[in-house]
Amino acid sequence: MAKVAFLLAGGFEDSEMKNPYDAVKEAGHEAVIIGLEKGAKCDGKKGTVSYNADLGASEAKSEDFDAVIIPGGGAPEALRVNDDVVRFVKEVNEEGKLIAGICHGPQVMISADILKGKSATCYIGIRDDVKLAGAEYRDEEVVVSENIITSRTPFDEPAFIREILAKLN
């Protein structure tokens, strides 16, 4: 069983959190929501789901987790400017553990400076940012590049979830 961190702030894309979160738990893994502060309420941008952070980013230790998933929407913009979030993602990457981001999720990877030399995809609106961060951009439903998994939009969730579960099992 893996312990999986979900990085979350308000304004996330509802399905990009709910579907991977539910799939990870259904597969028997532990899912922990890491927010900007412990207990912080995170509402989806469409208002269909809401979560409370189990842990604040300042408390997150990379050695306690096997993987990190970053849902898209507006949340990655708030997460990427938090030094503790960036530190955590950098440390998880240094340990070679799985980091998966969908839609705007790769914005956090950009701020953590972990995309150099990797292949990645993302929401088209941040495509140039991904390229400028040193990644080879691919317009594909899911891209697996070493320990990094990326996808573009909610339509790509089945492939995104499939690749995450394959790496965790």
Cβ-contact 38, 68 below 8 angstroms? no
- The SS3 of residue 69 is strand
Torsion angles phi and psi, residue 34, rounded to 5? -105, 120
pLDDT for the residue 65: 98
pLDDT for the residue 16: 98
For the chain, which ranges sit under pLDDT 50?
none
pLDDT for the residue 92: 98
pLDDT for the residue 137: 98
- Kindly report the CA angle at 107 between 128 and 76, in degrees rounded to 5? 140
Q: How far apart are CA 106 and CA 114, in angstroms?
A: 10
3-state helix, strand, coil in the chain (%, to 5): 40, 25, 35
- The SS3 of residue 34 is strand
pLDDT digits (tens, 9 = 90+) for 132-152: 999 999 999 999 999 999 999
- The SS3 of residue 99 is strand
Q: How far apart are CA 24 and CA 31, in angstroms?
A: 7
Cβ-contact 91, 31 below 8 angstroms? no
pLDDT for the residue 71: 98
pLDDT for the residue 31: 98
Active-site residues, by number, are 104
Determine the CATH number of domain 3-168: 3.40.50.880
